[in-house]
Amino acid sequence: MRVRELAEWLGATFEGDGEKELTGVAPLETAGGSEVSFVGRGRAAAQARDSAAGCLIAPMDWPSQSDRTVIRAPEPRTAFARAMSRFYPTLEIQPGVHPTAVVGKDVELGAMVSVGPHAVIGGGTRLGVAVSIGAGCSVGKRVVLGEGSVLHPNVTVYDNVDIGRGAILHSGCVIGADGFGYVMEHERWHKFPQVGRVEIGDFVEIGANSCVDRAAMGVTSIGEGTKLDNMVHVAHNCRIGRHVVVAAQTGFSGGVTVGDYAVIGGQVGIGDQARIESRAVLGSGCGVLTSKIVRSGEIVWGTPARPLRQHLEQLANLARLPELRREVAELKRRLAEIEQA
């Protein structure tokens, strides 16, 4: 593909050699003369000047260089992601049901559906147009999979789960398992029946080995466009809003509510009934206590989670403790000398 063609497809302008042939994409530090890379902010912008990339996708205000071929974009990273899809297109789905797959009674299969080897689909399930179910998947009864949704190999979806259009579920994730609900009677734990459902919105992506539990009663829901990383756990009756981003190894306890566009870092723990309001940011490794409210737009860090400025002040104070300890020891020594005198 030529630079001119790529720029036109991205709806962007270019500078330099529009006829240069491009064969792929690569990071700044390894890109060659026939590859595309992109210019980020800060240190990455400085690295770009020394890159051997044949073409750079750069911000509108990045300084021009006479010997550089550059495509200008308001959001270079986003444009680069789109460019990658041109060089590495998604594999085309091969419609059909593999002979080893097991399809239950009254299953509705939309046009262009693909069901892989040894997959199992329960009775009364509905698969929309161009749904792809990978090898070894288990899909329960009365499940709805929206148009264009993809289940990678070995995904498990329990009964009575609704999954929207364009959803992507990666290998090993489990949707609709029982929530962690027990009651104590006569010094023994007894299971509290988990009879609710799971609803997953359009264009949600759920990473490998993540789990979304069904509600005890009612619904566990994940809103449109939300992205869960690998090994994320969403417990019973959680309500995750639209376009939320959650990094790996984060856990939501039962009944947690998360507002739209919140950003949650890796290894975050959130207690029962906590509320994370829209566009809040939870730093990696922080802990949100039971019933805590993180206000809209607030940035919190640490355990227990607190505003970022306060967290940084406390870290600075902790760093001074060894010095303070030495100063106190010196003062005690001097006081002892005075008392002896």
Catalytic residue numbers read 236
Angle between helices 308-319 and 321-340 (to 10 degrees): 40
- Read off the amino acid at residue 207: G
Distances from the Cα of 169 to the Cα of 129, 137, 145, 227, 253, angstroms:
17, 11, 11, 10, 21
Please give the Cα distance from 312 to 63 (Å, whole number): 35
DSSP code string of 186-226? TTEEEEPP---EEEE-TT-EE-TT-EEEPPSSSEEEE-TT-
Contact 286, 300 (CB under 8 A): yes
Helix, strand, or coil (residue 92): coil
In this structure, the chain runs to a length of 341
Instruction: Give the tokens for residue 126.
Output: 């509905």
Residue 323 belongs to what H/E stretch? helix 321-340
Please give the Cα distance from 268 to 281 (Å, whole number): 11
Please give the Cα distance from 51 to 212 (Å, whole number): 43
Secondary structure letter of residue 2 according to DSSP = B
